[in-house]
Amino acid sequence: MKKYFLTYLLVSTFLLFQSCLDDDISGVYQKTESIYQKGFSLEAFEDPIIREYLAVDWSSPVEFTDVDGTMLYEFDAQVGNGTPLEGQSLTLAQKYSVVVSKAVDGSPLEYKLVRFLSNDNGSLASVSYRDKADFTGTVICYNLKGRTEMLEGYQQGVLKAVSKDPVEGGSSLAGKAPKDCLPDDPYCDGGFFVYEPVRIYKDWYNNRGNKWEYSNSTYVKTVFTQVWVPSNIGGAPRPAQNYHEHIDAPAPHAPGGTGHASNHPKEIILDKSVTPCVKEIIRKLQEKDLHNATVPDISQLTGTSHLSQTILDLFKKSKNYHLTFKIGEAGTNKNAYTEIESNRNGEFYFIVTLDEEFVENGTQLVIARTLIHESMHAFLGYVSQEHFLSDSAKLLSEYNSTYGNRNTADHVFMTEYVEAIGYSLASWDYHSRDKEYYNNLAWSGEMLNTEAYRKLADSTKTKIKNVNIAEGNANTKATSNALGIKCKSL
């Protein structure tokens, strides 16, 4: 700029004047911005995702006059990257803005957080509190404590239903919010405001070579969101959608830490009951085995796949199959159990529950073994559903017919993969023990009641029983002979 100053004095003088003018305007605007931002706080907001991740663009307010003549400012806002609410058969895109009354004579400012929900992305793109033309969906106005103060239902820009000061209610059809009949709606046929549960999850990541890889999701909370459902879709509201929403965990365990990605429906869910120690065990089970990697053979640094890593990776990438880990009561004499749930959209949820006494008594080594064991139950369930014509699925079906129940069938099948379970456990433990120790520990649960176990040499069966006793179980604490260490020993 200096050489142009010497050549074009007059022009640069004008530019200097213009720069000073711009500085003056910017200063005034920054002062205005601080006035409206100063009184805004979501510390008491109920929804943890909105409370923690809502970002407001205070730099670009739009001034307008409300229908009652009130002067307002509207500021664009966003939660993460605007992740949607995923339902059983419906996905609702979301958009936010903050509306503030214009500051006059030092009067207290009034804030409302406005949330727009729609399954029509086109109508959502241009909608705002001041302009809802062509919008179809729900408009929710919250106060700064998260209480819903007004609901509106729109269809192609026409206000069809409104509920002022709605009463909090139950979920879905049983908890329809009251609505006020509009003057142009004499039959009060404007649809329904339905309370829908929304399960909230945080997504966690591992950074591998400057690349973020999804690790798992943790359950945060279930909140209820009111959704407008028009009455012209077969005469009744849609069934309960059971929505859920994802947001990235804070840095350094997420790319940017501000909700840049949603990994639904590819997920491994860690319930809030899962302790940090068990979370770390699960994280390590997802890593490939680098035991045989040697420098300078760089190609080996990617690692070798093994049983638990392959299974957990499958669930991370599957669209319809989900895996959840939790800690609770597994039942008498049980270290853990796995159950399966499904919905009408063909989604399957495998839920692994580690017994709380087992987690308290056992070493990390035996907990890792049990997680591999239970993950294999989930995997066999996946194979039976998704690849029912495969040889493995046919063999499982044959075992089921022979032994009369699926649990026994799974354990008979697992006896053929003892060394694979042992190797996966060795990979988790960085091959710190003798191979035989891992293979002996791989025998567990109902596997010890199978014909394959009974055929083992007595000396081998004794070793298997001894290592299972030493590392701990739901009934007894780990002994001094354990090679693993307990979580509380860290």
pLDDT of 328-346, one tens digit each?
A: 999 999 999 999 988 766 7
b/e map 404-416, b = 16+ CB within 10 Å: eebebbbbbbbbe
Residue whose structure tokens are 């959704």: 227
Q: Are residues 342 and 481 in the same domain?
A: yes
pLDDT at 155 over 60: yes
Judge whether residue 320 has pLDDT over 90.
no
Comparing CA positions, the residue from 395, 422, 410, 272 lying closest to residue 338 is 410
Rounded CA-CA distance 328/336 in Å is: 9
Average pLDDT over residues 361-386: 96
Q: Are residues 220 and 182 located together in one domain of the fold?
A: yes
The residue with greater pLDDT, 191 or 306, is: 306
The region of weakest confidence among 51-60, 79-88, 254-263, 358-367 is 254-263
This prediction has a pTM of 0.62
What is the torsional sign of CA 298, 301, 307, 309? negative
pLDDT in tens, 268-311: 888 889 999 999 999 899 888 877 644 444 444 457 889 999 99
My answer on whether 108 and 8 are in the same domain is no
In the prediction, which pLDDT does 415 show? 97
Q: Last residue of some domain: 238, 256, 274?
A: 256
- Residue 373 parent element (H or E): helix 364-386
Give the count of domains, the chain: 3
% of the chain surpassing 70 pLDDT:
76
Is the same domain home to 95 and 168?
yes
Which structural domain range is residue 84 located in?
39-256
* pLDDT value at 405 more than 60: yes
Whether residue 30 is predicted with pLDDT greater than 50 in this model: the reply is no
* Pairwise CA distance, residues 360 & 468, whole Å: 15
pLDDT per residue as tens digits for the range 90-99: 788 899 999 9
Q: 167 to each of 66, 182, 470, how far by Cα in Å?
A: 25, 19, 57
Backbone φ, ψ for residue 224 (5° rounding)? -110, 135
Q: Are residues 14 and 83 in the same domain?
A: no
pLDDT of residue 196: 80
pLDDT at 254: 63
**24 shares its domain with 96:** no
**Residues 411, 309 share a domain:** yes
Same domain, 187 and 284: no
Two structure tokens written together for 37: 């931002």
| Amino acid making up residue 217 | S
Last residue of a domain, one of 256, 285, 314: 256
* Cβ pair 48, 220 in contact under 8 A: yes
- Clarify whether residues 327 and 181 are in a common domain: no
**Distance between CA atoms of residues 237 and 216, nearest Å:** 34
137 and 154 Cβ atoms separated by less than 8 Å: yes
**Would you state the structure tokens that stand for residue 396, as one six-digit string?**
């499982």
Of the two residues 428 and 48, the one the predictor is more confident about is 428
Res 20: pLDDT: 35
Give the model's pLDDT for residue 44.
Answer: 93
DSSP three-state, residue 81 = coil
CB environment 438-450: b (16+ within 10 A), e (fewer): bbbbbbbbebbeb
16 in the same domain as 43: no
Is the same domain home to 170 and 227?
yes
For residues 400 and 319, state if they share a domain: yes
Lowest mean per-residue pLDDT among 189-193, 326-330, 429-433: 189-193
Q: Cα dihedral sign for 184, 185, 187, 188? A: negative
Give me the pLDDT at residue 184, please.
Answer: 52
